[in-house]
Amino acid sequence: MLDQASKAFFHLLARSRTLKAIASRQGMRRPTSFARRFIAGETGEEAIAAARALERRGLLHTLDLLGESVATLEEADAASREYLRVVDAIVASGIERNISIKLTQLGLDLDRASTVDNLRRLLDHADGFFVRIDMESSKYTEVTLQIFETLWQHNYRHMGVVMQSDLRRTDADVARMIEIGARVRLVKGAYREPSSIAYASKADVDAAYCRQLEQLLRHGNHPAIATHDPAMIAHAKKLAAQHGIARERFEFQMLYGIRRDLQESLVRDGYRVRVYIPFGRQWFPYFMRRLGERPANVMFVLRGILSDRGAAS
Ligand code: FDA
183's CB contacts (< 8 A; 6+ apart) are: 130, 159, 160, 161, 220, 221, 222, 223, 224
What are the tens digits of pLDDT across the range 54-64? Answer: 999 999 999 99
Q: How far is the CA of 7 from the centre of ligand 1 (A)?
A: 12
What is the per-residue pLDDT for 296? 75
Question: With a threshold of 0.85, does the pTM exceed it?
Answer: yes
- Pocket of ligand 1, beta carbon within 6 A: 1, 134-135, 162, 164, 187-191, 226-229, 253-255, 258-259, 276, 290, 293-294, 297
What is the per-residue pLDDT for 302? 66
Amino acid, res. 143? V
* Residue of minimum CA distance from atom 36 in ligand 1: 254
Pocket test for ligand 1, best of 38, 188, 193 (most atoms within 8 A of CB): 188
What is the per-residue pLDDT for 26? 61
3-class SS of residue 215: helix
Q: Which helix (H) or strand (E) holds 84?
A: helix 73-93
What is the per-residue pLDDT for 27? 58
* Residue of minimum CA distance from atom 26 in ligand 1: 135
Pocket test for ligand 1, best of 229, 272, 299 (most atoms within 8 A of CB): 229
Topology of domain 40-282, CATH: TIM Barrel (3.20.20)
Closest CA to 93 of 48, 55, 130: 48
What is the per-residue pLDDT for 191? 92
Residues of the chain with pLDDT under 50: 1-2, 31-32, 308-313
